[in-house]
Every structure is written in structure tokens, then in C-alpha cells.
Amino acid sequence: MIGLIGGMSWESSAEYYRLLNQGVRDRLGPTASARCLLWSFDFAEIERLQHAGDWPALTERMIDAARRLEGAGAELLLICTNTMHLMADAVQQAVAVPLLHIADPAAEEVKRAGLRRVGLLGTAFTMEQDFYTGRLAARHGLEVLVPDADDRAVVHRIIYDELIAGLVTSASRDAYRAVIARLVARGAEAIVLGCTEIMLLVRPEDSAVPLFDTTTLHARAAISQALGDGS
């Protein structure tokens, strides 16, 4: 049973639900679907606390959600957002069931492709704090490039003003294309889409280098772990 800590935003949580069920159906047959539980936050509250910098309050809420899912029978936990992995270690310490970190499947896929230098797109919290870039570097040996300050502001604004509301525009896609191109010009061999909403906007043809979508790779790894094949 997979426990999903979601609602951050529900747009990406809906993608997790689709990806998990499609993946299980592909693996086990046309009538099969994923055994999962979803705890869905009101993202308005989460967003306010994020931008207020109240990470202790957010950590309390994430631990509470994880414990509720564990108590309901979840055997594997997913935090369905990159940013809230800032408190992944605290959440893991609070429960007995494993938490699958979203950065790890993406990093493993990058390494399987023979690549080492990646550009990272995500919220300002993800791009600017060490909990994510540091894990990619220390645990996986990747060199991580982030956009410059102006580009980080654009990427962050589009996530919070548009993508979490399900708004996808050609102007924003063009803006992301330009940010990606500048990362590639600095030497990025691949781009990690380190926000679970970015896959709603950016497509493979928007980048001259491979894109690694953390949402899809996280869901795929969860299926493999839940089914016990380790692949």
C-alpha cells in the first residue's frame, strides 16, 4: 500500500494518481490498479507557511500526515512535491515505514544515462537551499547548475502563479525554454524538472538536452518498490 502525502498542489497529485494506476495496470494487467492512500493538504495553508518561512510548522504537518497514512496501513510513503522534501529526514525519522525520496530516482536515471552535470528547475526553495542540490551532489555525485537569480524568480513565479492553478500558457513555456537554453549554454547535460508541476508545462521538445521529470520517475520507482522487484 502506497501512502501519498499530496495536495501540494492537487494538480501534481492528480498526476501521481494517474501515473501510479497506469503503471500498475501496465505491469499487472488491464483490470489492475494501485493500492494507495492519499492525504491531501489545502495548499493555500502550505503556501502561506512556505513563504513565511515557517518550516517548523510545515514539518509538524508533514509528520502528522505521514503518521496518519502509516496508521491507515501505508507500507511506503511518497511526498508528492519536491519542495517539501526539505523535511524528508524528519518525516522518515517519525515513522517506521520507508519514505522514497523524490530526488533519488531522478538521480539514478541521470547516472544510467551516463550524465553528470544537470540543470535544476524548481521552486526558489528547491533551487536555492541545500536539501535538494546537496543530496544530488553528495549522495549521487552530480554537478548541479541552477539558474541565475532573475531566472530563478521567473521559474518560481510561474509555478506559484500559474502551474499550481492548472494554468499553462505559451508565454510561460517560452520563458522556461529560454531558462533551459541558458543552463545548457553553461554546460548542463540534462535538466531535472525538480517541481512536480513543471511537467504540466515543459515537454521534451522544449529542451536541447534530456529532461528528467521527477514526478514520473518518483511514481515509477514507487511501483517497483511496492511490487518488490527493485527495478
148-177: per-residue pLDDT in tens? 999 999 999 999 999 988 899 999 999 999
Kindly indicate the confidence band of residue 12, based on its pLDDT and cuts at 50, 70 and 90. confident
Give the separation between CA 3 and CA 143, rounded to whole angstroms.
Answer: 31
Whether 231 shows a pLDDT value over 50: the answer reads: no
Q: Name the average pLDDT for the chain.
A: 94
Residue 208: the pLDDT is: 96
Give the separation between CA 182 and CA 143, rounded to whole angstroms.
Answer: 16
Nearest residue to 62 via CA among 33, 19, 91: 91
Phi first, then psi: what are they for 158, rounded to 5°? -65, -35
pTM of the model: 0.90
Kindly indicate the confidence band of residue 221, based on its pLDDT and cuts at 50, 70 and 90. very high
Q: Is the peptide bond before 9 cis (omega within 30 degrees of 0)?
A: yes
Residue 230: the pLDDT is: 44
Q: Could you tell me the sign of the dihedral formed by the alpha carbons of 13, 195, 91, 21, in that order? A: positive
Cross-strand partners of 143:
117
Place of cell 508528492: 80
Whether 224 shows a pLDDT value over 50: the answer reads: yes
Phi first, then psi: what are they for 8, rounded to 5°? -130, 60
Place of cell 495548499: 43
Percent of the chain with pLDDT over 90: 92
Number of neighbouring beta carbons within 10 Å of residue 52: 10
The per-residue pLDDT for range 82-116, each reduced to its tens digit, is 999 999 999 999 999 999 999 999 999 999 999 99
Give the separation between CA 133 and CA 68, rounded to whole angstroms.
Answer: 29
The per-residue pLDDT for range 176-197, each reduced to its tens digit, is 999 999 999 999 999 999 988 8
Catalytic residues, which ones? 81, 195
Residue 11: the pLDDT is: 87
Alpha-carbon separation of residue 206 from 65, 177, 214 (angstroms): 36, 6, 17
